[in-house]
Amino acid sequence: MGVEQEYKRWLESPVVSKEDKEILKNMSEAEKDDAFFKNVEFGTAGMRGILGPGTNRLNVYTVKKATIGFAKYLLEKYSTAKEDGVVISHDNRHMSREFTLLTAKVLSEHGIKTYIFDSLRPTPELSYAVRYVHAIGGVMITASHNPKEHNGYKVYDETGCQLVPDKIKRLVDIINALPNELEVTYTPVSHPAEIIMLDSKIDDDYVKEVEAIAINRDLPKKGYKIVFTPNHGTSYVNAMRVFKDLGYEVYPVEKQCSPDPDFSGTLSPNPEDPRSYIESLKLAEEIHAQLVVMTDPDGDRCGLAYLSSKGDYRLLTGNQSAAMLMDYIFSERQKRGLLAKEGAMYNTVVTSSLGKEIADYYGVKTEQFLTGFKFIGNRIDYYEKLGHGPKFEFGYEESYGCLIAPFARDKDGLQAIIMYSEMALYYHLQGKQLDQVWEDLGKRFGYHEDKVYSISFAGSEGSAKMKAITNKLHTNPFIEINGLTPYKVDDFYKQETVEGDKKTPIDLPKSDVVKLYFKDGTNIAVRPSGTEPKIKFYIGVVGSSLKEAQDKPDNIYEEVKKVLEI
C-alpha cells in the first residue's frame, strides 16, 4: 500500500482513538509522508522512532505487534520461556511507562512471566537484571539520547546483551509475518503469567557492583568539585548513591534531575551535542568545579567536560575520553599486576585508531566490531562460555559509551562517570588537568583528531537519497580526497577488504558501512545511522602536533561532501 492508502486505513479504523484521528487529520503532507511511507523498522537495534499515529511511528499498536512477535520468538526458542520470564525497564520519555505495562501484559497473556521495576531504571541495570534473575530476555523502552519526540523498544537475550543479527533475524521474520499493527491479535492463555515487581535489592546489588570497579577508591577528594546531570533521565538516584558512598563532592544540576519527558531543563539530552552542557557548565563556573559528568536519558552513555590548565571549560569527545580512561585503567592495573597477560579491548570499526595503539602498548589485544555495543557484549559472552581466551579489560564506542566490568553486557554510564571522576581526580592530584593528559597521549602515540559529522534525511525522498549516497561508495569507493586516494577500503556490505589487487573477506555481519584508509593516517567511515534517518561520517587523522591535526577533519568533511554531491 502507498502512503494515502495506509493513511486512510488508519483514519477509518475503529481501533484508532479519536485523539489519534485528530492528529492524523491535522498532518501536513510532509508529516503524512514520514508517518506512513514505511513500517517502523524492527532492526538490529530494535525499534526507535517518533511517537504518534502511523505505521512509521512508535505507538501502542506498533509496540503491541512487536511484543506479540517477541513472545512467539521466545516461546519458539526457549522451552523454559514461561518460567524464566522477561525483565522490562523504561526511561523517562512520553509513553515509556505505558509501553512497559503493555509489554508486560502481552507477554503475561502469552504465559510468560515478567519482571518490572516500580519506576524508570537505566539500560545497564536492565542488562544486569536479566542476568540477576536468570531471565531469558529483556525489553528496554527507550530512545536513548534522541529528541523528546522519540521513543524506542530494545530487546535483550538471556545474557543481558541486545540481540545480535543472527539471533534477531528470526524475531524480525516472525514480526514481519504478523498481520498489520491494527489487525494483529492473539488469544490470551487461560491463566496469565505473573507480573512481578522487582524490589530494591537489585538496585543495591547493582550499585555495589559499580562501586567495586574503583581502583584508587581512597584518593583524597576534599575540595574536588564535580557537577553531575542525568539529563532528566534514569541515572540520578543510582549515581548520587555511588558518589556519596565513594565520598565525592557532587553538585547536581537540579533543574535537570527530575524525570521530565519534555526535557524542559536542557536544549538537548544528547552528550554528543554541546547544547546539553550549557546548564552544567553554568553551575561549574559558579562553584569553580573541576569536572562535569553527564549521562544520557537511559543512562548508558557518559559525556565529560573539565576545567583545563588554561582556566576554561572544555568538552571531550567519546574517542578522547575513552582513550584517556583506557590508558589510566590499564596503567593502574599494570602497576598492581592486575592486567591480564591475555587481555582484550573491544571497540568498533568507526572508533579512533588511537585505542588500538594504547592497547598494543600495554600488550592488550584489540578486537573490532560493527557499531552497536551488542557485538561487544556478545563477544564477552562467547569467551565466557568457551572457558578460555582473552580476558575482557575494556570496551567502548566513539559515541560516549564504555564498559569497565562486564556484570552488565551493555555500555554503562554509571561505571563510566565513576571511573572518569576517579581518573580526573588522580591526575588533578598530580597537578595535571585533562588537556595536559591528552597532550601527553599525543606525544606518546601521535596527535589523533577524530570527529563525527551527520546529515539528516527525512521522509521517503530522504531515504532514497541516503541509499544513493551509500550505493555510490559501494560502487566506487576509491574517491580522491585532497589529492589522495585510499590505499585500502573496507566494504562491510560486500564483506571484503580491497587493497590493490587483493580482496580479503571480512568476518563480520553484513552492514551498510564503507571505510577508507589513506597513507597519511587519515581514515573515513561512512555509515547510515541504525536509529535515526541520517548518515554519519567518521573522520580520523593523525598529526605531528595538536594544531596540525585539529582542523584537518573539517576540511576533509567538506571535500567528502563535494565528491559525494551532498
> Which residue shows C-alpha cell 585505542?
355
- Asked if residue 68 lies in contact with residue 184, where contact means CB atoms within 8 angstroms, the answer is yes
- The DSSP code for 40 is P
For residue 171, the tally of other CB atoms under 10 A from its CB is 21
Helix 413-429 × helix 201-211 angle, to 10°: 30
* Of 214, 253, 212, nearest in space to 235 by CA: 253
Q: Are strands 86-90 and 401-403 parallel, antiparallel or unpaired?
A: unpaired
Cα torsion 421, 423, 429, 431: sign: negative
> Which residue shows C-alpha cell 568545579?
289
Catalytic option among 89, 96, 144, 321 = 144
- Catalytic (active site) residue 144: yes
> Which residue shows C-alpha cell 531469558?
136
C-alpha cell at 265: 531543563
Transcribe 154-184 into DSSP letters: EEE-TTSSBPPHHHHHHHHHHHHHSPPTTT-
What single-letter amino acid sits at 498? V
> Which residue shows C-alpha cell 588554561?
310
> Which residue shows C-alpha cell 573539517?
554
- Asked if residue 397 lies in contact with residue 323, where contact means CB atoms within 8 angstroms, the answer is no
Number of residues assigned to the chain: 566
What is the distance between the alpha carbons of residues 250 and 509, in angstroms, rounded to a whole number?
43
Angstrom CA distances, 394 to 37, 131, 333, stand at: 41, 20, 12
- 551 beta partners: none
Q: Are strands 534-543 and 488-491 parallel, antiparallel or unpaired?
A: unpaired
Angstrom CA distances, 485 to 16, 519, 560, stand at: 54, 9, 12
Angstrom CA distances, 171 to 140, 180, 515, 530, stand at: 16, 16, 29, 17
- Asked if residue 455 lies in contact with residue 321, where contact means CB atoms within 8 angstroms, the answer is no
What single-letter amino acid sits at 311? G
- 38 beta partners: none
DSSP E strands, 329-478: 343-348, 365-369, 391-397, 401-403, 447-456
HSE value, Cβ hemisphere, 13 Å, CA-based, for 446:
19
- The DSSP code for 277 is G
Residues taking part in catalysis? 144
